[in-house]
Amino acid sequence: MRCFLQAKIHQARLTGTNVEYHGSLAVCPSLLQASGLLPNERVDVYNIDNGNRLTTYIIEGDTGEIALNGAAALKGAVGERIIVASYAWLTNQEMREHTPRVVLVNENNEIREVKG
């Protein structure tokens, strides 16, 4: 088996950070639905503006929300752009047919385009 990109939300803007929360990434419900990402799913977060990278899990946020919580909140600031990515282990057969879901968003975290 090999590991492949499963889903990605590209260039979402951080709308909040909360160090006192127990930890996670809050994601807008419409972005969860469009990407196929699920609450409690492990994700990598790549901060486009400062280069920080981290691994956390998703919780469902409010409409338009993308917020780093807990220790992860120290890795970004409101207004910075991030990429949220999940990966899946695939068999040789699954690899041939696999297409990741990529959700492109605008500066307000509204869906611009969904690929895959």
Catalytic residue check, 24: yes
Q: In terms of C-beta density within 10 A (0-12 exposed, 13-18 middle, 19 or more buried), how is residue 83 classed?
A: middle
Catalytic residue among 21, 30, 46, 57: 57
Catalytic residue among 21, 24, 30, 35: 24
Catalytic residue check, 57: yes
CA-CA distance, 10 to 98, in Å (whole number)?
19
- Annotated active-site positions, please? 24, 57
